[in-house]
Amino acid sequence: AQSEDEFSETSTSGNRGLQMRAAAVTLCLLASNALHLLIPRQTGIIMDALSGRSGSPWSAVMVFVFLQFAASESGIELIRQWLWTPVKHYSHGALARAAYSHTMHLSADFHDSKSTSDILMAMSGGNAISNAIESVLLQALPMMVDMCVAVIYLSVTFGPYEGLITAATGATFVILATHLIAETKQTNRKRIDAIYQEHCIRHSGVTGWSTVSPFNQIEREDGRHADAVRKRWLKELEYSMSWSMSVAFQTVVLTAGLMASALLAVFRIRSGQATPGQFAMLLTYWAQLASPLQFFARLGKSMSDDFMSAERLLAVMKTKPSVENRPNARALEFVAGKVEFDEVCFGYHEQRNIIKAVSLRVLPGMTVALVGTTGAGKSTLLKLLHRFYDVTSGSIRIDGQDIRDTDLSR
C-alpha cells in the first residue's frame, strides 16, 4: 500500500497547471498528426499545379512552406517541448523521491541482503520508467494514429487496395518488430545483468580500496573488473548483432510495401484514375510513414532497455518492510533510559537462532560491554535494540515500554 501511495504521488493529479500542460501537449500531438497528412497532400497539389492541372503553384508553395515550418523544430514541436518539459521533470523528480523514500523505509533485512551498488542501480530505474511512459504516450500512440489516418486517406485517394497494402505493411512491420523484440529479450536481460555486475565490481573495488590496498589485492581487483568488462561487451555484441538482423528484416518489409504501393499507383495513373501529383504525394507520404515505423523499431529497443532497468526498481517498490508499526503504536516516552532484554531469542534464518534466551538489564547511567567471539551476536543485540529486526520471542523494553509497541518514526 505504501509503494502504491508513493507511485500515485508521481502523477500530476492535484496539480492543475501540469494537467493543463498535459492536455495542451495532446492538442499539439493531434496537430502534428494533421501535418503529417497535410504536407504530402500539399506536395501533390504543387505537382498538379506545376503541370497545369490546377491553380497557381505560387500559393501552393507558400502553403507548403508554412506547413513545413509548423511541423519543424521551430513550430509545434517547440511548443510541445515547452509544455512537456515541466511535466517530464516533475515526473522524474517525483519518481526519484518515491524510490529513495521507499528504499530508506525498508527494514534492515533488505539492506543487509543487497549490495549498495545494486540498490543504487535499481533506484536509477525511476528515469527508465518515466522514459518508457513518455515513449508510449508521445511517440508510439501518435505513430499508430498516423498509420490509421494513412490507411483511410490512401484508400480514399487510390482505392481500397492501396489502403490494404499500407495496413498490411504496417501491421506486418509492427508484428515482426514485436516478435523480434521478444526474441532478443533474454539476450537483453543477460546484457543488463552484465552491466549491473560490472558496476557492482567497480563500486566494491573503489569503495573498498582502503581494504584492498593493504592486503595487496589490487591486481586481483583489476582482474575481476577486466573480466566483468569483457563479459559485458560480449553480451553487448551479441545483443547488437541480433538487433541489427531484426532491423534488416524490417527494412525488407518496408521496401516490399513501398514497391507494391508504387506499382498500384502507377497502374491507376496510367488508367487515368489518379494524377502524377498524387503519385508524388504517395512517395512523400510513404517516406513520412517509413521514418516513424523505423523509429518504432528503435523505440521498441529503447523501451525494452527501459523496462529491463525498471524491473529492478519495481521489485524494490513491491518489497514491504518486515518491521512495521503495530496498530495504535505510540511514541517512545524516554524517562531514564532503563533497558531490559527478557528471554530474547532471534535468528536471521528460522532454522538457527543466534540469540537464545538472552536476559539482561541495563540501569540508567550504567556502561555495559558486550564481549564474545565473531558471530556470537554482539552486533545483533544492538540491531534488535534499534529495532532493525523484531525479536523471534521474548521482549526488549526501554523504560518499561516494549519497543514493538512504539512508533518507528518517533
Query: In this predicted model, what pLDDT tens digit does every residue of 276-311 receive, in sequence order?
Result: 777 887 787 777 777 666 666 666 666 667 777 777
Q: How far apart are CA 30 and CA 80, in angstroms?
A: 11
Burial class of residue 371 (count of CB atoms within 10 Å of its CB; 0-12, 13-18, 19+): exposed
Whether pLDDT at 365 is above 70: yes
Class of domain 1-318: mainly alpha
User: How many Cα atoms within 13 Å fall on the side-chain side of residue 214?
Assistant: 3
Q: How far apart are CA 286 and CA 1, in angstroms?
A: 48
For residue 157, what are the CA distances in angstroms to 30, 51, 97, 151, 268?
Answer: 22, 19, 52, 10, 10
Listed residue (362, 357, 233, 313) closest to 6, CA to CA: 313
Q: How far apart are CA 250 and CA 254, in angstroms?
A: 6
Question: What's this model's pTM, rounded to 2 decimal places?
Answer: 0.66
What residues does each domain of the chain span? 1-318, 339-402
Percentage of the chain beyond pLDDT 70 is 91
Q: Which has the minimum average pLDDT: 11-20, 66-75, 217-226, 266-275?
A: 11-20
Provide the CATH number for the domain formed by 339-402 in this structure.
Answer: 3.40.50.300
Instruction: Please tell me the predicted confidence (pLDDT) of residue 226.
Output: 92
Residue 105 phi, psi (nearest 5)? -90, 0
The answer to whether the 1-318 and 339-402 domains have the same CATH topology is no
Q: For the chain, percent helix, then strand, then coil, each to nearest 5?
A: 70, 5, 20
Strand order in the sheet with 393-398: 355-362, 339-346, 393-398, 401-402
Whether pLDDT at 243 is above 90: no
